[in-house]
Chains A and B, each alone.
With several copies, the nearest count.
Chain A
Amino acid sequence: MTTPDTTPDVMAPAPRPPLLSRLGALGPLLGLLALMAVATALNPDFLTVSNLSNVLTRASFIGIIAVGATFVIVSGGIDLSVGSMAALMAGSMILIMNAAAPSLGITGSILLGMLSALLIGVGAGLLHGTAITRGRIEPFIVTLGTLGIFRSVLTYLSQGGSISLDNALSDRYSPVYYGKLLGIPIPILVFAAVALLGGLILNRTRYGRYVQAVGSNEQVARYAAVDVTRVKITTYVIQGLCVGIATLLYVPRLGSASPSTGLLWELEAIAAVIIGGTALKGGSGRIWGTVVGAVLLLSIENVLNLTSIISVYLNAAVQGVVIIIVAFLQRGRRT
């Protein structure tokens, strides 16, 4: 560099990040494409519109929850309770709908039920966020606790059995899952909307920037006048809302809730987030990665259903191996 004596040297125009790290960032996508290629080779039906639409529809539940989990994880937290929360929401929602139907009518009670699911989500999020920030308890512990609590309450409500939506309600409500708009199943549209909105919030709004800052270094964020407590609480509320939205789509599908509803969804959601390239320690993350992660997880399951090359006992092993391979493909990003 030939430097003029006085003025600071002119900045080079920001060049693009190195190719390798850009490729690494595409890791999960590459993983998904590779999986799709293998799947199609194993069973050409994989690539049919109806199958792909099935897979995406299913990925919507975990995917929507995982969008919320991305916020929580980027901010440096974790929420283990999402599966139980979904179960509790589904159960309460159905009970409320059934109870309200005689007085409010079908549509009215469905709307009331939907609203109540979202409210439970907001409430749970506030509870988590407050216990974690003001109560200064580790997120892992708080949400492990509520994992037990939510599921227990549902078990109590259902007296150990299952809670089913009345038929009339079920018929009116089921298009929310089974219906299509412009040929695309509604859950996929909702998933896309949630992901887009999530991406926009995380990457293009003040709040999203604060979430990243808090996850990167809470102390610095605090000194920079970021209201860390509010930012954190809000991530848990977003998580709760996302679980609520996923439950709104889940209930019309199966029309019931039981103590085993949503079991282990937390692991799947967190796995989707991390396969997507978000670091568990927080600070940075990307919604599109999470979306790819969720689709990838559900595709593995789908492929296993489509083929019978190996023993049924080994399904989970194949899933495990694929997850590790995909994570390996995108490891370039890590420091």
Chain B
Amino acid sequence: MTAPSAAAFHGVTRSFGPVQVLHGVSLQVRPGEVHALIGENGAGKSTMMKILGGYLPPSGGSLEVNGQPAHFRNSRDAEARGVVLIHQEFNLADDLSVAQNMFLGRELGGALLDDRAMNAQAAAALQRLGLTLDPRTRVRELSVPHKQLVEIAKALSREARLLIMDEPTATLTVRETDTLFALIRRLREQGVTILYISHKLEEVKALADTVTVLRDGRVVSSAPAQDLTPHQMASLMVGRELEDMFPPHAPPSNAPLLEVEGLSVPGWATDASFTLHQGEVLGFAGLVGAGRTELFEGLLGLRRSTVGQVRLKGRPVRLGSPGAAARAGIVYLSEDRKGKGLLVDFQLRPNLTLMTLQHYARPVLDPRAEQRALERAVQTYGIRTGRLDVPASALSGGNQQKLALARILEVHPQVIILDEPTRGVDVGAKREIYALIQQLAAAGQGVIVISSELNELLGLCHRLLVLHSGRVVATLEGEAMNEQTVIQYATGLRTPAAQVPA
């Protein structure tokens, strides 16, 4: 190699308390390449990148940036050397506006801030990602995918020579992802080095020049992307052969389980009607902003909404609140893990049992029974953690997701609504979640899946509903359920003339 590495890890270690997470990783990132880093949940990818980004100090080993040793005390030091990290967990202040967040710590203007310039630049940066958004909007009001885009725009607006992206596309749909990839390629042309973490291996294959696989805090392989198929990547990650991602699904029964008629969520969704059958996996596709999340939040009384009628197993039910829904056997997994999913300051045990405390109250809570439930869930869902008595915030992103999923399934619901169920989850675990979904369906329960991954929806669902601008524009099944058709409907290229009653 002639040019010095854009970044290099030399025997870097890192421990959290007694738990060692990185076991001496060494890695060379060539300048100007897109270098993908993949690995199972909890393998240590985010930790490595936080170290490179100046957010965490290493416990041992050394770093180099552009051939020069790097000892970052904070992210400001790293940015000074052109290293910018896009966080997996959003790093935005809810009360500040989009522009204020993007420029936090490096505001424009002299004694008085130049908000006009910052707003204009912020809007432009968002526009580059295909997002038209008032930069004065408070971050609190944004949806998860929009926060993701803001987080990306924030990093892009800095003068990065080495850009680290930690699962930037976890909640983005095809179109945003395409825009982002176009941008990444342009940046590469301009000589920017990109470190890219993702669990979407097809993306990795499409984008990366080099792929490094991390397993349990050790580098197990680093090779040109062209030498690896997504399937091989997956096998390297988990250390064994993976069978088919999607288990075969049993046909659903004809008995309707959940029937929703005329559900409207003001500002988000209009007059949506659909039926979920027993044993069915029903998918909801749509672009970011199509209103899928809001539709179901409305259904469960988490937002203001109006509904014609909801029937569960033929009997009308009223779902005024999440509590009423849970009692009726309907549960919802939020896409917003940090804001709506987990009590990040709480330990794993109370997080897991929050919705099922009645099982542990006799009448005084039995923490040991809760602990047993936790141990079971850790096994069942493969939640990886050094210790069980840590706060949820200490789990890796994917493992937090598994914990959130475990909580709602503890309820043994009849209808399970999953919004981005595999957000940030590694392939191995994804497969297990898919299997679980099929199991639930096979047992006669109904599952609704909202996902930004079309593959996932196509592989998993019996039927697929497409939302566009808050309206159900298509119900697809069988042959019609293919990528092209879905995208046409989702982007509004095709209109619901051919609508089949759901």
Contact = CB atoms under 8 A, between A and B. Distances in A.
Nearest to B326: A225
A209 B140 contact: no
Interface in A83-107: none
A216 B134 contact: no
A227 B323 contact: yes
* Chain A facing B: main interface SS: loop
Nearest to A335: B140
Nearest to B364: A204
Contact of A223 (B95, B217, B302, B491): B302
Given A12-B387, A219-B339, A227-B321, A205 B105 contact: no
A135 interface: no
B248 interface: no
Interface string A1-37: 1011110111111110110000000000000000000
Given A223-B91, A225-B325, A216 B105 contact: no
Contacts of A222: 302, 322, 340
Interface string A190-233: 00000000001000111001101101110111111111000000
Interface string B381-414: 0111111110000000000000000010000000
Interface residues on A, range: 35 or more
Contacts of B59: none
A224 B325 CA distance: 11
Contact of A220 (B137, B325, B343): B343
A18 B346 contact: no
A256 interface: no
B365 A1 contact: no
Nearest to A200: B364
B384 A8 contact: yes
Contacts, number: 195
B76 interface: yes
Nearest to B290: A12
Contact of B113 (A209, A216, A284): A209
A265 to B, nearest CB: 27
Contact of B332 (A13, A15, A223): A223
Contacts of B128: 1, 3-4
Interface string A244-287: 00000000000000000000000000000000000000011000
**Chain B CB within 10 Å — which of A3, A5, A17, A224 has the most?**
A224
B342 interface: yes
Interface of A: 1, 3-6, 8-15, 17-18, 200, 204-206, 209-210, 212-213, 215-217, 219-227, 283-284, 335
Interface of B: 17-18, 20, 23, 55, 74-76, 79, 91-96, 100-101, 104-107, 109, 111-113, 115, 127-128, 130-134, 137, 140-141, 175, 178-179, 182-183, 186, 215-217, 238-240, 267, 289, 302, 321-323, 325-326, 331-332, 334, 339-346, 350, 354-355, 357-358, 361, 363-365, 371, 375, 378-379, 382-389, 407, 469, 491
